[in-house]
Chain A
Amino acid sequence: MKINKYNIIVISIIALVTAGVITTLVQLLFIGKNNITYSILITFLIVAVTLFFYDFLITKRLKQSMSRFISQIKQGNFESKKSTIIKKYDFVTLTDIPVALSQIVGEIQKDTNEQKRYIENVSHELMTPIAIIRGKLELVIQSDKIESQDLLLISDILSKLERLKRVNESLVLLSKLDNNQYPSSTEVNLSSIIEEILNLFEDQIRIKELTIKKIIPDDFVFTMNENLAYILIKNVIKNAVNHSVNNGFINIDSNKNKIIISNAGLILQTSPNKLFERFAIGSETNDSIGLGLSIMLKICEISSIKIDYTHKKGIHTISLKF
């Protein structure tokens, strides 16, 4: 460890002043006959050594914690540019920290922009091939010569393509949410959005013979991004419909600033907390891609809505606290 020259000067001055003050005090109290210069020197030495030792310890601890801090950053996001980062953040004095931090922030900003572009590119690059494959298959099935077993194979390919498309779309949406690309917010009427979405699902509701009960005041409003409100409610109701048992029910209730949606479904096999992770799938009742819940969670997070999920003997309840 090197002791900085500024430290030496500062410590010397402090030690000198302190020694002078203490010696003068001692002199005043005891009116000693000893040599004044001698006692000043002794006190100066004691104080100086203590301060140097203290400085040494502090600097060492500071350096240790800094290097821990740096190695954490290093392991996080900067793997590709490891070497330059380590050299840059070899702290010597405290004044280096702001410089180093601004460099880190710069890197992060660059990465974020890169990420946004990357997501756009991925979306474009994947959607075109999916469109081409699907188009080719649509052309293939027009042929009279095709056997019905082959049609089943094509049908399987088509449904996997559909899944691929949906995963892609959902991931793009999640990254947009992560990047906060839905800033604008207006007052949205949740009651009418729920009504609208229930209408969209009327066929599934009819086929599953679900009983829907909706008790929400017509003027239930909340200030958030309208698209996000729509996506959130759509996901909640979609889940409730898809995971309902036939002849089951969906209850949509409200309590002050809360909307509570419960449905009768199967008994849950996985832990509720795990469900909100990306690609976690709770049951095998449908062709779910396991991203719906993390989309809901993300929307709630950025719109300051508290979302809660409970499950009790086949009754699944989601509550949204606005």
Chain B
Amino acid sequence: MKVLIIEDDQELLRNILKYFDSFGYVMEKAKTLKEGQLKIEQHNYDCVILDLNLPDGDGITLLNLIKLKDHKTGVIILSANSSLETKISGLEFGADDYLTKPFHLSELNARVKSIVRRNQFEGSNDIIFNEIKINTNSLDVSVHNKKIKLTKKEYELLLYMVINKNRVLTKQSISDHIWGDFIERNASYDYIYSHLKNLRRKIMEKEGKDYIQTIYGIGYKFSEIED
């Protein structure tokens, strides 16, 4: 998978590259509108992460070019402006998704994966982690080929964790992803725990392994069990 990031902030760029590092994507970067334009003209990308506020202009002007080159290229807009109006106009210009700063790196990863899945495979895609299989088209989940019945939140939770596998996910990022950022949080995040507990139980009932680790004080991690 080939991803282009057009972002002028050096530090933000470095964060994204580092987080995406071990997921096996081919990452390319551009720091200006011009540089980005050049790269888009020369190469094909599965996904472009596009900051709107670039030193030499508004990133939105690149949207047309990207979609003209290859309409399957997914575009995620990054913006510091959280107002609904900018969000809507970004999507009207042909972006696939819109992410407001400050975002979680794990959230950006989930969005990239979701868009690429949607645009490239026309929806027929299974995500497999050992004995666990998630069909993102029918929303079915099976363990050892036995179907398990998950609630919408449990499904979202599992998908988010599998996509960000081997990464520590903060409770905050999980909460933002599933519940949206409207909730006035209290430090405990009890509601995440109660859904995770059910998810764990349902997987283990079908003899699936417990891949969900609790990382004390911070959050959770979905990863291979080390012996």
Interface residue ranges, A against B (CB under 8 Å): 120, 123-124, 127-128, 130-132, 134-136, 138-139, 141-142, 148, 151-152, 154-155, 158-159, 161-162, 165, 169, 172, 176, 200-201, 203-204, 206-207, 227, 234, 238, 242, 286-288, 292
Contacts and interface: CB of A to CB of B under 8 A. Distances in A.
B102 A288 contact: no
A135 B182 contact: no
B168 interface: yes
A287 B187 contact: yes
A176 B183 CA distance: 21
A200 B179 contact: yes
In this complex, which of A142, A161, A169, A201 has the most chain B Cβ atoms within 10 angstroms of its Cβ?
A142
B4 to A, nearest CB: 19
Interface residues of B, number: 42
B38 interface: no
A123 B79 CA distance: 11
B12 A135 contact: yes
A118 B212 CA distance: 45
A130 B185 contact: no
A179 B210 CA distance: 52
Interface stretch (B23-31, B54-62, B142-150, B213-221): B213-221
A286 B186 contact: yes
A142 B190 CA distance: 23
Interface stretch (B13-21, B113-121, B201-209): B13-21
Interface of B: 9, 11-12, 15-16, 18-19, 53, 80-84, 100-106, 167-168, 170, 172-173, 179-180, 182-187, 190-191, 194-195, 215-219
Given A124-B81, A141-B170, A287 B184 contact: yes
A288 to B, nearest CB: 7
A286 B105 contact: no
Contact of B218 (A128, A154, A165, A172): A154
Contacts, number: 114
A222 B185 CA distance: 30
Given A200-B180, A200-B182, A204-B183, A130 B105 contact: no
Contact of A135 (B105, B186, B187, B219): B105
Contacts of A128: 9, 12, 80, 101-102
B166 to A, nearest CB: 9
A123 B184 contact: no
Contacts of A287: 184-187
B103 A131 contact: yes
A158 B182 contact: no
A130 B185 CA distance: 18
A131 B12 contact: yes
B172 A141 contact: no
